[in-house]
Amino acid sequence: MSIIDREILSLLRDVTERIILPRYQNLDAGEIEDKGGNDPVTIADRESEAALREGLEKLAPGLAVVGEEAAHADPAVLERLQGACWIVDPIDGTRNFAAGKPPFGILIAQADEGLAQSGWIYDCLTGRFCAAHRGKGAFVGGERIEARETGETPPVAAISLLFMDDAKREAMKAHICPHYRLVDIPYCAAEQYPRLALGENDVSIFERTLAWDHAAAALWLEEAGGKVARPDDGSPYRVDEVGRTGLVGAASPRLWDDMAKRLAALRAPAAGVRANPATSP
């Protein structure tokens, strides 16, 4: 394990033990708020983000920090994603944490020029620590890992429909879901991405692609040999594409390609209708 990995792990453990776990299954009603759109935030999210920011600023003085809660309070914070920065999700899976159930974790990435260069994923309850550095592979607890498919037929898929509009949601249910064995959505990227690399899931579709949810985890899966990319054009995930939606992660490039082809076929008829006004009512 590298020096920076050890330092990040020490910080994650400290914040988990000192701030997050004491509030787990111990939140008062007034300590949980809804940011809008059924997107909860707790006092533990805010306190852990502050502690993580303080710790990261000590590790790299002067490097900008983009935290989920800071960005919610001031969207101008998102402009920092265009340069060198830390990206922090203080509690990924807040919906679960607030309900007093797993999974939930912490995600930290270091990015530059729109791409994550390093990423760390920490499961607060099990202590699983995932780390990746661009071009240097993916690790779990200091051991290098390679992504593996489940080997099941049909492939195992976790498809998040939560943030899709009604038409897209129904199209997914009718034309994409029947080709896969669907499993639960953990509502936690810190859990979903490891499932894709560790032989539990084969492919996952994400609609919302916020940097704090995906920067660290997408890099880690890619470094493990999986594939994470935009399904519409196959481009890699970038942290500075604020507002862009749609992302597919898979345990292998083959599985990613299969899903991308199905999604392209789903889009093609709609595109044809739009292109021919004579067919419109």
- Sketch the domain layout of the chain as residue ranges: 3-144, 156-273
Residues 7-54 pLDDT 10s: 999 999 999 999 999 999 999 989 999 987 778 999 999 999 999 999
Residues 134-168 pLDDT 10s: 999 999 999 999 999 999 999 999 998 888 888 88
Indicate the annotated binding residues for Mg(2+).
Answer: 68, 89, 91-92, 213
Strand pairing report for 247-250 and 203-206: antiparallel
CA separation for the pair 234, 39 (Å, rounded): 29
Residues 226-262 pLDDT 10s: 999 999 999 999 999 999 999 999 999 999 999 999 9
> Please, which pLDDT band fits residue 267 given cuts at 50, 70 and 90?
confident
Residues 160-213 pLDDT 10s: 888 888 888 898 899 999 999 999 999 999 999 999 999 999 999 999 999 999
Burial, 261: exposed, middle or buried (Cβ in 10 Å; 0-12, 13-18, 19+)?
A: exposed
Instruction: Domain 3-144: give its CATH architecture.
Output: 2-Layer Sandwich (3.30)
Indicate the annotated binding residues.
Answer: 68, 89, 91-92, 213
Supply the CATH classification number for the domain 156-273.
3.40.190.80
Mean pLDDT, the chain, as a whole number?
93
pTM of the model: 0.92
